[in-house]
Structures are given as structure tokens and as C-alpha cells.
Structure 1
Amino acid sequence: MAALFRGYRNFYKRSNKHVELILVSCRSMASKTPVGFIGLGNMGTPMARNLLKNGYPVIATDAFPESCKELQDSGAQILDSPAEVAEKADRIITMLPSSPNVIEVYTGSNSILRKVKKGTLLIDSSTIDPAVSKEMAVAAEKMGAVFMDAPVSGGVGAASLAKLTFLVGGVEEEYNAAQELLTCMGANVVYCGQVGSGQAAKICNNMLLAIGMLGTAETMNLGIRLGLDPKLLAKILNMSSGRCWSSDTYNPVPGVMEGVPSANNYQGGFITTLMAKDLGFAQNTATSTRTPIPLGSLAHQVYRTMCARGYSNKDFSSVFQFLREEGA
């Protein structure tokens, strides 16, 4: 009888363990409900693919149907409009080029907020004017949805490797729900405060990035004109006080580093027109808050000029090539 009881007890323990495993599995499966993704450009496609890799079914759309094929081949369901995505998903991520695109996708004639379900979490990873993020949050709240801004730092390479940094603004109580998805696409997720604060942090970061890249390009150009070998000069900078991300990780001089846009005719990466856009946001915000940004304003002027001179679709590190041509 004792042996029989021990056998029953062991069976009961094993059964309980099995039940626990089933419950854990069910909870995991419950969290992997479909995620909507709108905006399948150079950044959006690898971001959405990383959601798929983490087991999330993805329902996606883009204004350009040809942009959807790569993600569709990876297993995503492709729909025709943001409104259709909103009908089928209660967590939606958007990754769009500019403020007007965000306004259209959220509030246009066939937009998310036309069909959004109450309680839906909306995460916008576009880099836009903080005031637009706040407007979208108000519009979403009227429909019973929650809007958070979560712009990213890191380029296409970081998006592909799920190493982006997300700067999140919104209702703090919703941060954990957003973090669950964002950690599938990034190495760092930082809560910055209320809606719009993520955009504010991104604008500040990109202004410094532009200033740093412009300074690195000027320095490298001067050194080369003085007869220094560019690889030697980069080595000296990177072991000295002039070292920065633009010199040691993303050097703008062709031939100095491999695996960066300057090694590929400035293709890929973060294009000049987007840097000019972000610097414009910094300029507007500085003007409205009466904050002097002399170097930020100069960088904005340089990148706007580059766009007018045919550099729009080249990586922003092509400022080195621009300066070389200006001085030729």
C-alpha cells in the first residue's frame, strides 16, 4: 500500500508539473497575440522581422505595396490599410518617415483611429515633432486607445540585429506592455516621461550626432590636406581626447573602416534628408523655447545645403565628401 501511495504521489507531482507547464505555455501563447506594424521601410522591415523571430504574428501594411513583399515572405500577413490593421490587432507599432505621414496613418481617411479597438496600445517609433506626438495621444485617448512615442537611436544595422535603443514617452503604467514588444527589437528601452519626451530625447541626441559627424569630417579633411594618412589620423583621434562615435565607430572617410556607409559610397545607414529633418525639429524647438543652439543651427544649414546638392539619399556621413567637393 505504501508503495502504491508513493507511486500515486509521484504521479500527482508529475501531473502537477505538467499542469504548471501547460499554464506557463498558455500564458506565453496569450502574450504572443498578433502585433500590427505600419511602415515597412529600411528600418521598419527588420524591426517587424525581429517580432516574427520572437514568435509574434505580425499584421502589416505600407503605403507602397512593393515594400511589403520581403516581410510577407518572412511570414507576416499583409493588409491594405492602417484601418484594416487596427481591426485585427490591439497592439500596433508605426515606423514612418515624417510628421505628415504619422498624422495621415493615425487620423486620415483610412487610418488607425477609424477602426481602433478600445484599449489598443499604439507605439510610434517614427522621429517626428514632439507636438505631433502629443496631438496623436489626445486623438487616441478620445477613441479609448493609448498612444506612446518611442523613437529609436541606431541605424539599419542595429535594427537588423535587434540592437536599437528606444526612447519611450507616455503613460508610465503602460510602459511594461510597450517594453515587452520593444525588447524584441532593441537592446535598450528607456522610459523618458510623458508623451513627447521620447521625441525630445531623440532630437537632442541627433543634434549632437550631426555636430559630432560634422566635426569629425572637418577634422579628417584638414588632416588629409596636411598630408596625414587618414587611417593613421583616425587611430590618433581614437586614442586621444578627440575620440567620438563618429570617429571610432562610423568614420566618414572612405577606406578607414569596413562595414560602414563610407565604405560603400555612403549607401545605407541614416540618409541626409532625415538628418536635415531632425535638425529642423531641433531648430524649431530651440526657437520656441528661446534656447541658443549655434552649432545645431550650423549643422542644420549644412545638411539642408547637402540635400539641395544631391546628397539627400546618401548617408549623413557623406558630409565628408560634401566638404571635400566644396574645397576642391
Structure 2
Amino acid sequence: MSSTDRPRVAFLGLGRMGAPMARHVARAGYDLAVWNRTRSKAESFAQEVAQEVPQQSVQVADTPAEAARGRQVVVLMLADPTAVREVMSGSSGVLSAAEPGTLVIDSSTIGPTVTREIAAEASGRGLRYVDAPVYGTVGPATEGVLEVYGSGERENFERARPFFDQWGDPAKVRYLGPVGAGSAAKLVRNLILGVSIAATGEALRLSSVLGLPDDLRNDLIETSQLGPSYPRIREIVETGRTKPAAFEMVLLLKDLDLCLREADELGLTQAVREACRRVVAAGHGDEDARALAVRMAEGV
């Protein structure tokens, strides 16, 4: 596909995950417009792209509507349901400017219920909507090896596939069925993540109370079912470095809230959510989510 054949793209949301994902789009030569709630981040992004890819220019838009106007593809990578609703349906939102037939790819983590509501509104305006949250942190996003959970009409998924293959390991780009299935899969993965982190925190706490030496504690956890996720937690334990965060604790709390909105009978998830809420309230919300284990071990 030549550069003249590529659709014009708008990318909305240039946070820790959005910026590297948008950079892959720019490197691929797409005509790109970007919007971010903090405009200075969008301007910095455009300057970085210009330095890396001199022949590529990036338009910085003042509103989501301005970014989406005249674009064939609009990508959203936003923090939560409130942000997605505002960017899609607000007075200066995508729906006020996008033309019928525009493909909307929402890679935000907002849960299946909200996803289906937004998808229905977008479809009612003649837009094509793909629910495609990604699993992974800043490193995989930068390397383009995220997991992608796509759902919606299969034709729309295939239209979005060139972008998924930029962001993710092609072997981990999955089509999961009707819209909302991707968001459901993402919540399940993040529930497992949150519960595993909390379980590690309690193991650390119990090890300390029982007076186990560090080497034995590490061996017990590393050879357990929690072993695969322990190295990063162990690094935090040993160095005390909780920032910069690959995935902020406040975002884990948001995702646990979303899980419980979908199914409030999840007792273990409720307990982990309360532990996470307590740690965030104590001022640790901007730390890496895996620091939850360390803070729990400390008795926060």
C-alpha cells in the first residue's frame, strides 16, 4: 500500500500507552492528526516525530472533533469510561465531526457494558466501531508486541488489522467476536493481574511476620504459581523504586472497579480493590501497580 493509499488517521490520547502506539502509526507513513487533553504533550509528540521522520508531519488538533474531521480512521487510547464518553459524544467530540463510514478503533479499557453503549451510538451515526483493548505495558507498546483483543464486526476488525499488527505481536492479535468481547477479555486479564499482585503482597507480609529469611522467601514465591510475575515485584522490594510506572496503580484500581461493575459478586476482587483503594488513598496511586504488593507487605 503506497502512502497515498493509506487512510488519514486521527489518534486521540497520547499518554504512556497512546504515545508509543501513535508513534508506530506515524512511522508507517500515515497522514496523522493527534489530540491530547494536555496540548503540550501533543505538540511534543509532533516535534519528536518530525525529528525522527523528517518527511512526516503531524497535525496537532485543539479538539477531538477537529482531529476526526476528514479522517477515515480514528483511534482512541484514553484513561476511563468518562474520558471516552466525553471524547466521543461531547460537544466537540468525534461524533460531531466524523463522516459516515469512519472506522473508530477504541483501545481504551472501559469494560464491555460501556463499550457496547458507545458502539451503538457510533453505529447509529454510521460509523464503524472496533473494540480493541491492548494488554501490556509501555515496553511492549514501544516494541510493538502488545496483545490485542479485537471485537466487533469481522469486516471492521480486518480493516483495523494493519494497525493491530503495528501495535502487537501478530501471533497475539485476536478476533474475539461481537463488540464488547475484547473489553471483557481485557478485564479478565487485569483481574488476574490484580489478584496475583495482592496474593504476592500477602505472601511477602506473612513471610515477614514468620521471620523467613529473604532468600527462602524469594525461592518459595519464585517456584510457586506466582513465580512468573515475581521478578518485577522482587526488584521493587530490593530497590525501593516504584517509579516510573509501567502501569500506574490508580489505573489498576480503575480496572478493578470496572470488573465489579460488571459482576459485583466477585468477593476476592472486592477485597483486592479495597486494598488497592487504601494504598492509593495513602498517596501511592502514581506508583507502578506491582508496588501494591510491597505496600501491602508494609501494612499500608
Taking the aligned partners of 1:207 and 1:252, their CA distance within structure 2 comes to: 21
Taking the aligned partners of 1:285 and 1:142, their CA distance within structure 2 comes to: 24
Compute the displacement of 1:186 (Å): 1.3
With the length of structure 1 as denominator, give the TM-score of the two structures.
Answer: 0.82
Letter in structure 2 aligned against 1:189: V
Q: Are 2:87 and 2:94, in contact at CA under 8 Å, matched by a contact in 1? A: yes
Give the alignment partner of residue 93 of structure 1, picking from 75, 83, 104.
Answer: 75
Q: Report the counterpart of residue 229 of structure 2 in structure 1.
A: 246
Q: Which structure 2 residue ranges, 5 or more long, are not aligned?
A: 51-57
Cα offsets for 1:105-134 (capped at 9, x unmatched):
011000111011111100111111322211
Q: Report the counterpart of residue 165 of structure 1 in structure 2.
A: 147
Taking the aligned partners of 2:247 and 2:282, their CA distance within structure 1 comes to: 17
The SS at the match of 1:119 is: coil
The SS at the match of 1:52 is: helix
Please say if 1:299 is aligned against 2:265. Answer: no
Give the alignment partner of residue 138 of structure 2, picking from 156, 162, 183.
Answer: 156
Compute the displacement of 1:59 (Å): 0.9
Taking the aligned partners of 1:305 and 1:255, their CA distance within structure 2 comes to: 19
Please say if 1:179 is aligned against 2:161. Answer: yes
Compute the displacement of 1:236 (Å): 4.8
Alignment of 1:270-285 (within 5 A): 270-285=247-262
The number of aligned residues is: 289
Cα offsets for 1:200-228 (capped at 9, x unmatched):
11111101100111112222343355242
Taking the aligned partners of 1:255 and 1:276, their CA distance within structure 2 comes to: 21
Q: Report the counterpart of residue 315 of structure 1 in structure 2.
A: 288
Q: Report the counterpart of residue 179 of structure 2 in structure 1.
A: 195
Q: Cα RMSD over matched residues? A: 2.0
Compute the displacement of 1:65 (Å): 0.6
The SS at the match of 2:129 is: strand
Compute the displacement of 1:169 (Å): 1.6
Give the alignment partner of residue 60 of structure 1, picking from 34, 37, 40.
Answer: 34
Compute the displacement of 1:81 (Å): 1.1
With the length of structure 2 as denominator, give the TM-score of the two structures.
Answer: 0.89
Q: Report the counterpart of residue 83 of structure 1 in structure 2.
A: 65
Q: Report the counterpart of residue 55 of structure 2 in structure 1.
A: none
Alignment of 1:98-109 (within 5 A): 98-109=80-91
Taking the aligned partners of 2:234 and 2:97, their CA distance within structure 1 comes to: 45
The SS at the match of 1:205 is: helix
Q: Report the counterpart of residue 35 of structure 1 in structure 2.
A: 9
- When structure 1 is superposed on structure 2, of 37-46 and 294-303 the one drifting more is 294-303
Greater C-alpha radius of gyration: 1
Compute the displacement of 1:57 (Å): 2.8
Q: Report the counterpart of residue 213 of structure 2 in structure 1.
A: 228
Cα pair distance change 1:214/1:255, threshold 3 Å: closer
Compute the displacement of 1:272 (Å): 1.1
Compute the displacement of 1:252 (Å): 4.7
Give the alignment partner of residue 211 of structure 1, picking from 174, 195, 198.
Answer: 195
Q: Are 2:196 and 2:226, in contact at CA under 8 Å, matched by a contact in 1? A: no
Q: Are 1:167 and 1:189, in contact at CA under 8 Å, matched by a contact in 2? A: yes
Q: Are 1:150 and 1:169, in contact at CA under 8 Å, matched by a contact in 2? A: yes
Q: Report the counterpart of residue 54 of structure 2 in structure 1.
A: none
Give the alignment partner of residue 121 of structure 2, picking from 120, 139, 143.
Answer: 139
